[in-house]
Structure 1
């Protein structure tokens, strides 16, 4: 299993950095986790978007989902269209949310080149067993765990501090965790993690590698790394576009 960072800017795209999007590949299967603004363009540097086998959305805030609209334009209208239909996993109202953003031609029932699938607590997506727990966020949101052939990746999505995330990540090879906040004692409980909190979650779960992501453009990734380092003894990695992290 390989994790490749397509975009890792938090809350909005940043300079040369799409918003949240992560490509996970195993056994020839390509799964994209989230597709924030700029992710469709960034994806072309790794593979032709028509080669995606599935898309999974942790939640429906714009910085995690809006480039699904760009993907759909390509799938329907690129010179090599139509692209193969693929499943898109997300919350129950994903189609309505994205349709409101996409604004298709009125009455066009074929506006989507994906098949919308509502998340279940556990499901099979290609070679991956995907398990979910609700995230502590301001909208319906999930943290995800992918297991395949003995390798395991956990993606926090957007979440405040969460014992459920610790349980989900227990013993995982890699925790891909957001680090949106500079740490303080009065952070909101149900919004985002600081880099320190991400490190504390990784330590409590006993993961091997922590990848810090979702640092907004107004904060320094290096500051997030320095904040996390004293609280996690394993491999600590800063996400950046194009970085590939192989899993055992």
Structure 2
């Protein structure tokens, strides 16, 4: 199993990265976790434009799903269209919400390019992967994911405040991609985002093998976010996410 960070910028694209998007590959199957603003362009540095086999969306905020609109254009009007519809596992109303973002009628919406399937908590198969989805703490319906294959596992927080469900998802995972949107300080809003320190606390509780801090908001000093994480009681390796970084879990 190989993980490539396509985008790791929080809330909007930064100067060095698109918004949230992660490419997970095994046995020739290519799965995207989220498809945020700016991700479609960078994705093409790593795989072909039409090589995506499935997409899972953690929630429907623009920084996690907006480039679905551009990818709809590519798959609907490309030179060899129509291309096979890509399964998209996403919260309810994803098709309607993305159609509104694109400015098109509800029907057929983006169904010409995508086969939308409603995401609910539980465990299911996507290609060669076993995915577990759990609700996490965010102002909208939002999920964290655990992706397993060949005895290896990664956990992805999506967007969340402090969450016992995230700890369960990341239990003994080889790699934890955990959001760290906040610089740590007293009185942080509940059920919204995590600081680097809080991300490390979750990783320590889960006994995750490696912590990668992601959803890095461009206005924050990233060295401060990393320093915050060093105070979270986690003993494993910690690093900041970087667009283009590759983690081979073979």
| TM-score interval for Structure 1 and Structure 2 normalised by the shorter chain | over 0.9
Determine the structure 2 residue equivalent to 1:81: 81
The alpha-carbon deviation at position 105 of structure 1 amounts to 6.0
Determine the structure 2 residue equivalent to 1:170: 171
Cα offsets for 1:191-213 (capped at 9, x unmatched): 00001000110011001000110
Structure 1 distance, partners of 2:106, 2:179, is: 38
Change (3 A) 1:142 1:185: same
Determine the structure 1 residue equivalent to 2:31: 31
8 Å CA contact 1:50–1:84 kept in 2: the answer is no
The alpha-carbon deviation at position 108 of structure 1 amounts to 5.0
Change (3 A) 1:26 1:186: same
Q: Which has the larger displacement, 103-112 or 191-200?
A: 103-112
Determine if the alignment matches structure 1 residue 209 to structure 2 residue 204. no
Structure 1 distance, partners of 2:243, 2:142, is: 23
Cα offsets for 1:81-131 (capped at 9, x unmatched): 322211001001111111111123686567531100111311110011111
Determine if the alignment matches structure 1 residue 236 to structure 2 residue 229. no
Determine the structure 1 residue equivalent to 2:51: 51
Structure 2 distance, partners of 1:208, 1:24, is: 18
8 Å CA contact 1:180–1:214 kept in 2: the answer is yes
Structure 1 distance, partners of 2:111, 2:204, is: 45
Determine the structure 2 residue equivalent to 1:60: 60
Structure 2 distance, partners of 1:110, 1:238, is: 34
Give the TM-score taking structure 2 as reference length: 0.95
Cα offsets for 1:196-244 (capped at 9, x unmatched): 0001100110010001100111012222112112332112121111100
The aligned length equals 248
Determine the structure 2 residue equivalent to 1:12: 12
SS in 2 for 1:50: coil
8 Å CA contact 1:9–1:213 kept in 2: the answer is yes
Structure 2 distance, partners of 1:198, 1:153, is: 15
Q: Any stretches of 5+ residues in structure 2 without a counterpart? A: none
8 Å CA contact 2:96–2:106 kept in 1: the answer is no
Structure 2 distance, partners of 1:190, 1:144, is: 17
Change (3 A) 1:103 1:211: same
The alpha-carbon deviation at position 141 of structure 1 amounts to 0.2
Cα offsets for 1:147-188 (capped at 9, x unmatched): 111010100000000111112211111110000000112111
Cα offsets for 1:41-91 (capped at 9, x unmatched): 110000112111001100000110000000000001122332221100100
8 Å CA contact 2:99–2:105 kept in 1: the answer is no
The alpha-carbon deviation at position 189 of structure 1 amounts to 1.2
SS in 1 for 2:133: strand
